[in-house]
Amino acid sequence: MIEAARIHGNQKEKRRGGGNCHWRRQSTKTIMKDYTSIDLFSSPSPSHLAVRFLPIANISRIMKKALPANAKMAKDAKEIVQEAISEFISFITSDDKCQKEKRKTISDDDLLWAMGTLGFEDYIEPLIIAIRASQ
Amino acid sequence: MRQAGAYSGILSGGGVSGRTGPHLLPLARIKKIMKKSSVDVKMISGEAPLVFSKACELFIEELTKRSWNTTIQGKRRTLHKEDVASAVATTDVFDFLIDLVHPNASGDVDLDEEHVLEKK
């Protein structure tokens, strides 16, 4: 809950205070209420929508790296890739290996195994290299 | 026999801090999406979002490059949603995205509507 508020920067806004921040305190209450709700992802608030996708700016940056310098990207292309990423994460995470083994914790090991099973075996080696490089 | 045993041996050596190094994608958000994907997901290991962060970069790059091939074939310089749809249709591993890029076929309009709302 606290982490969620920090992500949205509302904790910092609350500390700043000031009469003109009243609307910000109100939105903090709304967001905090959403995060205390058990069924978070069926809430219609903007904060609920935001957690379904990764930030489009970050995705756009990665896409740009993969394209030539003179390439352009339409907004609808970025948006569909944004949605595709969330589908990818769900697709890999939902692999029922943990279920079969009656475990409730997903490890990085499980993710790599799932990727190999679901056709993304080409990712495994560069992933291991990249993760070891970041250690 | 679990093939994944080999990976844990390679990854766990040297002590992993899930937050070391620059990440292009927010790990906390990745974790939230993972938890949403299955009701059985209760806990996620510290390195899992990090693995996904790198995997998503690779996924985005592959999807973008394949989409760009379609753009080039159409003698254009701007990547459009249709190019992404074409890449999904012609790549086997992207089959799970078919319903996403062709929402009319599956009737999955809600996702598009919510995405429009998010942009406002």
C-alpha closest to that of A63 among A52, A53, A73: A73
Q: Cα–Cα distance between B34 and A21 in angstroms, integer?
A: 34
A9 shares contact with chain B (CB less than 8 Å): no
Judged by a CB distance cut-off of 8 A, whether residue A65 touches chain B is yes
pLDDT of residue A73: 96
Fill in the DSSP letter of residue A27: H
Judge whether B77 is closer than 8 Å to chain A, CB to CB. yes
Burial class for A36, CB neighbours closer than 10 Å (0-12, 13-18, 19+)? exposed
CB contact under 8 A, B78 and A7: no
Distance from CA of A69 to the nearest CA of B (A): 10
Residues A32-80: tens digit of each pLDDT? 444 444 344 444 455 555 668 999 999 999 999 999 999 999 999 999 9
B98 near A CB under 8 A:
no
ipTM (interface predicted TM): 0.71
- Whether B55 sits inside 8 A of A120 (CB atoms) is yes
C-beta atoms of A132 and B14 within 8 A: yes
Banded pLDDT at A104 (limits 50, 70, 90): confident
Give me the tens of pLDDT residue by residue for chain B, a chain 120 residues long: 444 455 555 555 444 444 434 668 998 899 889 888 876 667 787 788 888 899 999 999 999 999 999 999 999 999 999 999 999 999 999 999 999 988 765 544 444 454 555 555
